[in-house]
Structure 1
Amino acid sequence: MTATATPGEIAKFDALAADWWDPRGPMAPLHAMNPLRCGWVARHLAPAHGGNPGHLAGATVLDVGCGAGLAAEGLARLGARVTGLDAAPAAIAAARAHAAAEGLDIDYRQGMPEDLSAEGARFDAVMALEVIEHVADRGAFLRALAGLTRPGGTVFLSTLNRTARSWLFAKAGAEYVLRLLPRGTHDWKMFVSPAELGAEARRAGLRVAAISGMVPQGAPNGPWRESRDVAVNYIVALARD
């Protein structure tokens, strides 16, 4: 196994493949936050691609840890040319089937970023949304993402801060009290603060260009909104100069 993934994490998300597209299933929180994530990425990607976040034609985007394709489809619907990459074979199969049913042309591949980087692939933007808190080696993962990004491009990450509040809401609350996520989805010790992520990104040749918090509105699994509050969920754009 390569440095950025473990068999246990791959198997955990592969087992959810059949339920990934159920908006009331175990991936309901991802369905709820996905419009915010995709809109945020599109807004920060648009200036280099015509200025309209709703029309990203010509932009090449890699979605690392794409699962069954929630974010990949979101960016493809905005006109981007999307490649989806995941190490979980059942998730990739579900992604391909759903994209075909929706008439979307997305290039889904099974594998890990270091494998694709070895092929010399480069993209305008690389996304890894709700992924970095699951990888075995964050430094190696960030270096692989940077290597897949063309100079002047952007790496987009969304993840969870390691705070008392994130333990209460994203771990204990979401998995054990409200049961919004399957138990064992997250390991709080693997959450990463913005300061830690910024320092690790710099060592990988990336710099923080923008950061926002993401917070749910109203009922559990309701819509999410952008916020200055990064204590639990946040999304960040990392520029590759």
Structure 2
Amino acid sequence: MSRTTIDPDEVAKFEAMAEEWWDPEGKFKPLHMLNPCRLDYITAQIAAQYGRDLGSEAPFEGLRLLDIGCGGGLLAEPMARLGATVVGADAAERNIPVARTHAEWSGLEIDYRHTTAEAMAAAGERFDVVLNMEVVEHVADPLDYLTACHDLLKPGGLHICSTLNRNPKSFMMGIVGAEWVMRWLPKGTHDWKKFITPDELYDLLRRAGMTPVDRTGMVFNPLGWSWSLSKRDLSVNYVTASVRPEEPA
């Protein structure tokens, strides 16, 4: 077996929730609520990197995209609708048939695989875009994992990574609020000690061989019950964009 950064205990948490991926009122309600905000960021970054017009019929046509930690396909499906050739990979085996079945119902062709970033990189897989959303805080070794993500990118390719900041506010909102009070997620879904600050993530991305180009907060408004992007508030959820440098001629 190839080396892996998979944490079996973390995988088991998501295996147990696999059947609820497409239930907007189920255990993945926070992701359903967050998804429009994530998509706004992802689509804008891809369009900027590759000079695509988001108003066209299939703006991402010709781009090969990997959604690592794809879960039930909440991001993979809209990427496929925008024209990308999508591979969805997840270490939690039970997620894959859920994602495949929903894609078939939706009339979408998505290549879902039960595998790891390290295994795909070792096999020589390469992508124009790697989505790495809410995964890095669940792996055993973030640097090794991000290095595999770097290796999965073509030179000039775009890596988008979201996670949670580590501070008292993120503990109160990400764990006490989401898991203990609102019960959006089972207790123990997140380990606050594995949260990563924006500066730490930028350092990890550089050490993995990528060049960070942007970081933006994703902010929850409890009054409007909605999420929005913020360049100023990265205190809890945030997302980064980075690029694998072009190789010298």
Q: Normalised by the shorter chain, which TM-score bucket?
A: over 0.9
Task: For residues 123-144 of structure 1, give each alpha carbon's deviation from its aligned partner in whole angstroms, at most 9, with x where no partner exists.
Answer: 0010110000000000100000
Per the alignment, residue 98 of structure 2 pairs with 94
Q: TM-score, normalised by structure 2?
A: 0.93
Per the alignment, residue 41 of structure 1 pairs with 42
Per the alignment, residue 195 of structure 1 pairs with 199
- For the aligned residues, what is the CA RMSD? 1.4
After TM superposition, the structure 1 = structure 2 runs for residues 134-145 of structure 1, keeping only pairs within 5 Å, are 134-145=138-149
| Residue among 75, 78, 84 paired with 2:88 | 84
Report deviation, 1:98.
0.4
Per the alignment, residue 20 of structure 2 pairs with 19
| Residue among 224, 227, 235 paired with 2:227 | 224
Q: State the 4+ residue runs in structure 1 displaced beyond 4 angstroms.
A: none
Secondary structure in 2 matching 1:104: coil
Q: Say if 1:7 and 1:27 are closer, same or farther in 2 by CA, change over 3 A.
A: same
Report deviation, 1:156.
0.5
Report deviation, 1:234.
0.2
Report deviation, 1:223.
2.9
Task: For residues 71-90 of structure 1, give each alpha carbon's deviation from its aligned partner in whole angstroms, at most 9, with x where no partner exists.
Answer: 11121121111100001111
After TM superposition, the structure 1 = structure 2 runs for residues 19-168 of structure 1, keeping only pairs within 5 Å, are 19-53=20-54, 55-168=59-172
Q: TM-score, normalised by structure 1?
A: 0.96
Report deviation, 1:51.
2.2
Structure 1, unpaired ranges of 5+: none
Report deviation, 1:39.
2.0
Report deviation, 1:215.
1.0
Aligned length: 240
2:4 touches 2:116 (CA, 8 Å); kept in 1? no
Task: For residues 22-68 of structure 1, give each alpha carbon's deviation from its aligned partner in whole angstroms, at most 9, with x where no partner exists.
Answer: 00000000011111112211111113444223521111110000111
Structure 2, unpaired ranges of 5+: none
The answer to whether structure 1 residue 3 and structure 2 residue 4 are counterparts is yes
The separation in 2 between residues aligned to 1:138 and 1:157, in whole angstroms, is 12
